[in-house]
């Protein structure tokens, strides 16, 4: 099996590496074992291939353009007043198209589209939690499948 087709692993890890490089504590959400004082969790949901994106590869029509939704959960404790909005701004800055926050050149990511945010103020844990959603469009390089 080709590691290249593990979209979730590759794209999530690339974003986490970018966030860590900017000094932001981050993890892939399925790897999270404990909520830290300030934490960012990253998850990807594959949304499928684009219908208009078939190319010839080894005498077969293969889809090369794909889409996914990235969710980035930002969690901060209220004791650290002001950290939540600052952290949201830092994450948004790193998710701009020209920053290409996906690490390795696994895929050509040609669009990072901000979608919506969902907020939760959890009184029980005294945290602010915001989920930032992005839709990404990326292209496969069939040479990496060999």
SS3 state of residue 77: strand
SS3 state of residue 25: coil
Q: 26-46 pLDDT, tens per residue?
A: 998 876 555 555 589 999 999
Alpha carbons 86 and 43: distance in angstroms, whole number: 21
pLDDT band at 82 (very low <50, low <70, confident <90, very high): low
Number of independent structural domains in the chain: 1
| pTM reported for the whole predicted model | 0.88
For residue 6, report the phi and psi dihedrals to the nearest 5 degrees: -85, 70
Average pLDDT, the chain: 87
Number of H helices, E strands in the chain: 2, 7
Res. 1: pLDDT tops 50: no
Q: 91-128 pLDDT, tens per residue?
A: 999 999 999 888 667 788 989 999 999 998 888 888 89
Domain ranges, residue 119: 3-145
């Amino acid at each position: 099996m080709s590691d290249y087709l593990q979209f979730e692993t590759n794209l999530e890890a690339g974003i986490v590496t970018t966030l860590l490089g900017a000094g932001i504590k981050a993890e892939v959400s399925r790897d999270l074992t404990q909520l830290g004082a300030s934490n960012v969790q990253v998850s990807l949901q594959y949304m499928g291939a684009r219908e208009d994106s078939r190319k010839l590869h080894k005498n077969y029509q293969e889809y090369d353009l794909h889409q996914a939704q990235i969710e980035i959960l930002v969690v901060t404790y209220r004791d650290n007043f002001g950290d939540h909005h600052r952290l949201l701004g830092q994450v948004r800055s790193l998710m701009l198209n020209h920053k290409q926050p996906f690490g390795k050149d696994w895929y050509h990511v040609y669009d990072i589209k901000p979608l919506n945010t969902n907020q939760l103020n959890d009184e029980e844990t005294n945290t602010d939690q915001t989920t930032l959603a992005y839709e990404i469009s990326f292209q496969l390089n069939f040479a990496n499948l060999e």
